[in-house]
Structure 1
Amino acid sequence: MMPAATIVGAGIAGLTAALALTQRGSVVTVLERAPELAEVGAGIQISPNAGRVLDALGLGPGLDAVSLRSRGVRLWNSAGKPVATLDFLRHRPDAPFRLIHRARLIEVLAEAISKAGVILRLGERVETLPDVGLLVGADGLQSRVRRELNGTEAPFFTGQTAWRAVIDDPDPQPEVWVDAFLGPGRHLVSYPLANNLRNIVAVEERAEWQEEGWSQPGDPAQLRSAFASFRGPVPGWLDAVHDAHLWGLFRHRVAPRWHDDNRVLIGDAAHPTLPFMAQGAAMAIEDAWALAACLGTDPDQAKALARYQVLRQDRCTRIVAMGDANARHYHLGGLRQRVAHAALRSASTFRPSFLLSRFDWIYDHDPIAGV
């Protein structure tokens, strides 16, 4: 019999876990400190590995109605000249990459948990962790559950600050691509969203310390100034930015301890990642399925939680490390950039399948079959 569960946090991790646990017979309560599930955040990418979980939970049609299918990733230098193309649609035509506004994904999940009978308690600030049979810490970067399990930790400021913005995109292109423009000390990623919107994430190296989190307002004029040397469509996109948010990028270690006998971590609470592999939400979604599957197949809760960490820790650690490496590769300058970009152009032209296959271990992973 599935244990009753209390989940702290109603983000992507918490809501996906609530649905996965409920579908296996658990009685689930979700505690969220915000007074409502407001429209916050920006665009996210749902790669096929996470999409398999959402499809298995019955969310595929709802997601398809509010997302776009990406063909792949195009890399450009800051002058707007092509570097490489990763055509994921051609490489895996039956495995969609969905581009979606975070708020739309939250809406789909929230509707699903409501229909499933999950109890959602908004405006619940958890000052003291409740003593319950199963407590799931889906409470993000500042996780109280993580602190209880691992003690206080000091994250490391990477010297990088990111901007997020969503703009109107009244003239969408016939094909949907994620475009990444790479320059010395900075890069910018953009892609379209449903309802004629476009997501922008721009990362620059800067010495001053920024508070962690992505809710700080930023000055669009400063964003335009920081990327004034970028060409191609970038100036037009940035001219359309009216509201932007800033956040400092901090490196956290993957939590050594994910659980005890009745508390467990998922998502950013367990393995915060830098936004350079677009896998933060995907890992949280994978976690949610793995946790529910482990609890659903082993009546010994302590053993089920231990198995969950074994299944997830190495994969998440590897993805976090790959994101850390990309943070360096994206910002090369001078000779190092010319050499790296020449190698990417050559691989994209003459060995595209090799370039694409480097990511097979991420995108071809099937969380459903892996538990």
Structure 2
Amino acid sequence: MENQRGKGLSFARRIYRPRIIGLGIGAISVFATLYPLDLPNWTWALLVFNGLVWPHLAYQLSTRSAFPYQAERRNLLYDSLMGGFWTATMQFNPLPAVTILSMMAMNNVAAGGLRLFIRGSLSQFAGVLLSWALFGASFNTQITALQIYACLPMLTLYPLAVGIVCYRLAIKLSEHKRALSALSRTDSLTGLLNHGSWKDLLHIKFHKCQQRQMEASIALIDIDHFKAINDTYGHIIGDTVLRHLSSELRRNLRHDDLAGRYGGDEFCVILPRMSQSQALDVMERLRQIFSQYRHPQVPELKVSLSIGLAAFSPDFQDPSSWLNAADKALYLAKNGGRNQTANNAGKSHFEQTQMA
């Protein structure tokens, strides 16, 4: 309900300024055509009300309504009714009549498509019948120079106002589309890439490494005994640990490194243009920093990471074989006692340190 009201208010705001411009300068065209005719004084008062007061009154009626969208669509039908009324009152003088009716038709199509265009046309016809009932049916094909000049602002300024509104709406829709695209690619809890998006990028990076013979490494990261953390301290604490790891990944990686949540308590990272030894240093720093984490409400909670690392090799047939190498390295780190980093050469960080 609240969301629908917000959309209705946005719709009313988009219509507000074009209505001010359209009815204001449209009144000039109507005045120039009606001036030679012998009409009662109330007609001029109605023209002033319709051109200068109604745009603001219509905006207040729609914004104060419980259903702004429906109220604004009714206002558009009132606009069409008066458009038909003034067209007939001007005795269907060709230039101002076509100008007003076409501008209103454009406005109805832009605001509500074919359905509003049809309803607006029926409202215009009702306005014509109302004018004929009051003043009789008359037709005048004579166009004066004053009427031509009076129609020029309507033919230039109003389409410009509608174009600006449509352009702003297109920009907003584009921004929403980008935001939705970003949401579909990210994990809602951590803000990192989700499983599918990260694997798509892995395919891209794999083929780029093949074509350019460039170095790259991938890492699979697992939070040790994460199920026990959830079972002991609850899922809220577990989610806090996941978010902390994601923030440490963003803090310790380069801007073009690609981190994602692979699933559950497992994370994944693509490290382009990075050798295995460099990647090992980065992952070890991350592991050590993360192990220092202490939750303020659960000071006894201790966390650690097991990390499997795999450097790109031309021997890999496809991205899955590269990922499988990292997965095997992760298994080695877990099987070796956890809280360590292992690579696809089959050695943990501790073993490499001892050999050096």
TM-score with structure 2 setting the length = 0.23
The structure where helix makes up a greater share of residues is 2
Computing the radius of gyration over CA atoms, which structure comes out larger, 1 or 2?
2
Give the TM-score taking structure 1 as reference length. Answer: 0.22
